[in-house]
Amino acid sequence: MINNKYKYIIKYRANPFARQRRAYFGRKHFDIFAKVTPLDESISSLQSDMIYLSINKSESKKGKIKKRLGKEKDCDKEHKQEEVKATSSEKYDINKATETLNEQAEPNSIGKCAKYVRQAIEAGGLSTIGRPVSAKDYKGFLPTLGFSQIATTNYTKGDIAVFEAFQGAKKYHEHGHIQMYNGTQWVSDFKQNGFWAGPDYRTYEPAYTIFRWK
């Protein structure tokens, strides 16, 4: 029989003439109200977090099970996302991130700001799988890691500034720029003299967004 520690409500209806269909129900969160017949009554535990059940054809046609499962899976997905964010929050170490960025900073810019800031974020404990190539595209990526967009000029350690692409005096900065505040100064692939990374940035002041870990 089914292991009692999993919350399943099952009503049996033997119907040897009904066409047998398989349905897959995830563990713990699903209350099954459909009338079903076990494919194998000797099942004593759930394997691979699943149990296979045969649904009566008439119940399957109505789509009640499918609708119920869809709602439960959405709830389960939301819970998992909350758990991931909570776990990331515990793991991310701003001090380690800024220390790594300071240690790796070059004497002058080498055009690798996204790489250096990304490595700092990883050193802080976050995974950057699925990261973008261009620095400007971190505007959409950082929120997926747990950073929040803020409007402030009172910067704190670990804040990140992402700049949009813009036309400079002699070149188009197509990848934009990204930098992190170490508590006293802004650092990208080098330790900057101020908020603006270079002459073009100071002259044209491209649009930017500030992100903070919360």
What are the chain's domains? Answer: 11-89 (no CATH), 94-213 (3.90.1720.10)
Q: Is the pLDDT of residue 84 over 90?
A: no
pLDDT of 214 reads: 84
Residue 30 confidence (pLDDT) = 36
91 pLDDT tier (thresholds 50, 70, 90): confident
- pLDDT tier at 105 (50, 70, 90 boundaries)? very high
Taking a C-beta distance cutoff of 8 angstroms, is the pair 104, 188 a contact?
no
Q: 169-180 burial string, b = 16+ CB within 10 Å, else e?
A: eeeebebbbbbb
pLDDT tens digits along 151-175? 999 999 999 999 999 999 999 999 9
Question: Which candidate, 62, 161, 59, places its Cα nearest to that of 113?
Answer: 161
Between CA 73 and CA 148 the distance in angstroms is: 27
**Residue 197 and residue 109 in contact, taking contact as beta carbons nearer than 8 Å:** yes
Q: What is the percent of the chain where pLDDT is above 90?
A: 57
Which of 38, 47, 44, 46 is closest to 20 using CA atoms?
38
If one compares 126 and 17, the residue with the highest pLDDT of the two is 126
